[in-house]
Amino acid sequence: MEKCKFMSVFAPYMQKFVDAKEALGFSRKYFESVLGLLDRFFIEEKVRTPFITSVLIDKWGHTLINNSYKTICSKYSILAQFAKYMNNIGFPCYVPRIPKSKSNTYAPYIFTHEQVHSIFTVCDSLVASDHGNMDSRLFSIPAILRLLYGTGMRVSEATSLLNQDINLEKRVITIRKTKNQCQRLIPVCPSLYQMLSQYVEARNRLPLPHVNTMESPFFISPSGLPLNQSRVYAWFRIILRKCSIPHCAKKGPRVHDLRHTFAVHSLMRQVRNGADIYCTLPILSVFLGHKKLSDTETYVRLTQEMYPDVLKLESSITSFLYPALPNNPVAYER
C-alpha cells in the first residue's frame, strides 16, 4: 500500500508516528487520513516550526464544525497522541483534551427474533439488479449477516477475515484485526458451521485463481473482489426497506445493531436457561472483545427493557439467598 506523503513542517514526524502505530498493529489508513488533514491545515496556516500551540488547536477545531461528535472525538484523540509523541522526542506541543461529551441520545436498535428471521429470508431472496455484474457483493451478504448476528463480531472484523482465520475443521474463527488490538477466538456453533460450509462450497466453485488460498479474503464477490463495509451497509439498508423496518439516516438501525442484538438475545437465552445474568457477563465480555466489563453491562439494561420477564427469572434464580419474610414480622424481632 502506498504511503501518504505529508508536506508540512511536521511531515517527517508524522511519517515516523504512523510507522510506529502500524508496527503496533493499528490500521495505518485512518491515522494517515486524520494526520493528512492536519498536515494541510498546518500548511494553510503557514506553520514554520514543529510546535503545536493551544491557539492553533482551537483554530483547527473550528474546521470540524460539520463533523459528527464521534468523528471529532476520534480526530482529537489522534491529534493528542501525535502531540504526546512530539513531546517525547523533544518538541514541546500542546496536548488537547477530548471535547466534552454531548448528551448521547442514541439507543441501539435491538431487532426482535421475528425481524432477524425476516432479514435472513429477504437477503436470501435478493438478486443483483444487473445480472451481468460479477462485482456484486450480494453474493456474500446472506453469509456475512448471519455471521454478524451469530457471533456478535464487528462488521470491520468480519470483512477483514481471511481464509486462514476460518477453521471449519476445528470450528473456530480467529479475529486478528480488532478495535482494541486484542486477538480473540470465536467458537462456531452447528448452524453457523453449516452456513459457512455452504458458503465456502459455493465460493470455491467460482472460476477464480487462489480463491481458497490461506491469504485470500474470505468474503468476496463472484469476480474475486473482497467484500467491504460500504457494500454491507448499502445492501443492509435495502434489506431493511424490504422488511418494512424503518431506517433513518445516522439513527439506524445500523449493521452494528446486529452485534447489539446478538448480545441481548444471548443474555436472554442464558437467563431463560437458568444462568445468572451477572455470571454470564464476563463470558460475553470476552466473546465480544470488550476491554472493560462496564462496556458489556449496558446490555443488561437493554435486555431487561426488551424482556421484562428476565427480571422475574433472575429473582427466582437468586431467591434462595434472600428468604422471604413471614406474614408476621414479629417472629423476626430480637
The x, y and z cell numbers of residue 241, run together, are: 426497506
Residue 77 pLDDT more than 60?
yes
User: Tens digit of pLDDT for each residue in 57-69?
Assistant: 999 988 887 787 8
Task: Give me the DSSP letters along 308-334.
Answer: THHHHHHHHHHGGGSPPPPS-GGGG--
Per-residue pLDDT tens over the stretch 292-312: 777 777 777 677 666 666 555
Largest CA distance in the chain: 85
Question: CB-based burial of residue 190 (10 Å sphere; 0-12 exposed, 13-18 middle, 19+ buried)?
Answer: exposed
What cell numbers appear for 15 in the block?
Answer: 511519517
141 is written with which cell numbers?
451478504
Query: What is the arrangement of strands in the sheet containing 184-187, beginning at the earlier edge strand?
Result: 166-167, 172-175, 184-187
Query: What residues have CB less than 8 Å from 182, skipping those under 6 apart?
Result: 289, 291
Q: How confident is the model at residue 287 (pLDDT cuts 50, 70, 90)?
A: confident
- Give the burial class of 306: count Cβ atoms within 10 A of its Cβ; 0-12 exposed, 13-18 middle, 19 or more buried: middle
What is the pLDDT averaged over residues 211-226? 92
The mean pLDDT of the chain is 83
Q: Which three cell numbers stand for residue 110?
A: 435491538
Q: How far apart are CA 255 and CA 207, in angstroms?
A: 30
93: cell is 506541543
pLDDT tens-digit series, residues 139-182: 899 999 999 999 999 999 999 999 999 999 999 999 987 776 67
Provide, rounded to the nearest whole percent, the portion of the chain with pLDDT above 70. 84
